[in-house]
Amino acid sequence: MRVMVIGGGGREHAIVKKLKESERVTELYCLPGNGGIGRDAICVNIGATDLDGILAFAKEKQIDYAVVGPDDPLALGAVDLLEEAGVACFGPRKNAAVIESSKVFAKNLMKRYHIPTARYETFTEMDAALAYLQTASMPIVVKADGLALGKGVLIAQTLPEAEQAVRAMMADKRFGKSGERIVIEEFLEGPEVSVLSFTDGKTVVPMVSSMDHKRAGEGDTGLNTGGMGTVAPNPCFSPAVAERCMQEIFLPTIRAMAEEGRTFRGCLYFGLMLTKDGPKVIEYNCRFGDPETQVVLPLLKTDLLTVMQAVTEGRLADCPVEFSAQAAACVIMASKGYPGSYEKGFPITIPDADWEHVYVAGAKERDGELVTSGGRVLGVTAVANTLPQALHDAYERVERIHFENEYYRRDIGQRALAAEEA
């Protein structure tokens, strides 16, 4: 089969590497891909949101199957367009991708279908939002409605901070149209768990759970990032918690979407918080998480293309999906300064033997060598029988990889290890 993957980050590299293992994949393209993905697929310089370009390419190469990685093309309707042209796709249609692209939609859905989440109010008028804050207790969470590159969430410890966040979104339009509507919600506490799932809209198959590390600094300090590292499985996600999430969150969510006429097919990502009152939804994503995918897919034992096609064709109930009982770890090597400003263009050296376990996010080819081109540069991973071993192996690999200006957190997985011991 001729397969194309849309996107060009570490997540897409992980998807590409897994698809490449499939004997059924004969040609593999990535649009636009990046300097590292080019080792595993043919990269084509068409942007992930250039829907016309993508469609034209799919027709020209007679693509049989498309996997849409990032949220923006999904929110723009990439899957609708490709499916209407006869190209089978992995990913939700636009009317289902809204579960991520509008936080107001997601919150209202959860309220209507009694899916546990933080208590909240939504606002389109700044004065009403500011008045509401006077009555609210701190800390409190202010969220822009739309997509904001993971930066549209502010946890305010004090009333002035909360007011400032509301003004930044609604008056200063820091997130453009994404901040025209906002959600103000209750601050929740507890361990966070990411659960990616395959769903065809009727059946939901959770993948192995994982734990992200969103803050830039060690000890979970500093600014929020796209994610500085991940481990899988997440020790907080016990079988009992998993069963409760299935009954209270996963199944109710896909049923709710189907009932709303927005059947979700693809990877639905549940961002959960395990509070003392039970698991609650922090956010939904309509796609594979990044860098969760870099630890989840290496543990998948079943052929990825086979599972994806079962999702597309509504046959997931009849498709066994098996994960390894091993553990995986991913350490993000970033450019120093990220998520703020940083220098790029530095050559990267990766020993040949380590390439198999490196997922490239922000690097490009320049005169035959790989150079840094983004904030998050590499996801360096390992799979082993235990989490401590996986972390050890991943960090050993990190030590062997070099570029000027590199920065990584040295404490990825420490919270998971502490939870494992508890």
229: left (phi over 0), alpha (psi -120 to 50) or beta: left
Which DSSP string do the residues of 178-190 spell out, in sequence order?
GGSSEEEEE---S
Question: Which residue shows structure tokens 């739309």?
Answer: 146
Least distance in Å: CB of 214 to ligand AMP?
5
**185 is an interface residue for ligand GLY by CB under 6 A:** no
Q: Please state the closest distance from residue 150 (CB atom) to ligand GLY, in A.
A: 6
**Amino acid in the structure at residue 231:** V
Rounded to 10 deg, the angle between the 103-112 and 251-259 helix axes is 100
Phi first, then psi, for residue 170 (nearest 5°) are: -95, -30
Binding characters for ligand AMP, 104-123, by CB under 6 A (x = yes): --------------x-----
Is 290 a binding residue for ligand GLY by CB under 6 A? The answer is: yes
Considering only the stretches 13-21, 177-185, 287-295, 330-338, report the one whose residues sit in contact with ligand GLY under the rule CB under 6 A. 287-295
Per 3-state DSSP, what percentage of the chain is helix, strand, and coil (rounded to 5)? 35, 30, 35
* Sites for ligand AMP among residues 159-178 (CB under 6 A): none
Burial level of 135, CB count in 10 A (0-12/13-18/19+)? exposed
Binding mask 243-282 for ligand AMP (x = CB under 6 A): ----------------------------x----------x
Query: Is residue 286 within 8 Å of residue 100, measured between CB atoms?
Result: yes
211-212 and 327-335 strand pairing: unpaired
> Considering CB under 6 A, how many residues would be counted as binding ligand AMP?
14
- What mask, x for binding ligand AMP by CB under 6 A, covers residues 184 to 213? -xxxx---x---------------------
Q: How far is the CB of 153 from ligand GLY (least distance, A)?
A: 11
Q: How far is the CB of 275 from ligand AMP (least distance, A)?
A: 9
d(CA 233, CA 226): 19
Minimum distance, C-beta of residue 11 to ligand GLY, in the bound complex (Å): 7
Strands 211-212 and 229-232, how do they pair? antiparallel
**Segment lying near ligand AMP (by CB under 6 A), choices 71-79, 179-187, 231-239, 316-324:** 179-187
CB nearer to ligand GLY: pick between 370 and 409: 409
Q: Residues 199, 254: contact at Cβ < 8 Å? A: yes
Is residue 214 close enough to count as binding ligand AMP by CB under 6 A?
Answer: yes
Which of 99, 153, 327, 329 binds ligand AMP (CB under 6 A)? It is 153
179 binds ligand GLY (CB under 6 A): no
Check residue 10 for interaction with ligand GLY (CB under 6 A): no
Determine how β-strand 2-7 pairs with β-strand 211-212.
unpaired
Question: Are the beta carbons of 241 and 190 closer than 8 angstroms?
Answer: no
The stretch near ligand GLY (CB under 6 A) out of 90-98, 104-112, 168-176, 289-297 is 289-297
Strands of 120-123's sheet in order across: 120-123, 182-186, 140-144, 153-156
**What φ, ψ does residue 305 adopt, rounded to 5°?**
-60, -40
From the list ligand AMP, ligand GLY, none, pick the one residue 48 interacts with, judged by a Cβ distance below 5 to 8 Å according to partner type.
none
Of 28 and 118, the one with the shorter C-beta distance to ligand AMP is 118
Using CB under 6 A, list all residues that contact ligand GLY: 150, 212, 227, 285, 289-290, 292
Using CB under 6 A, list all residues that contact ligand AMP: 118, 141, 150, 153, 155, 185-188, 192, 214, 271, 282-283
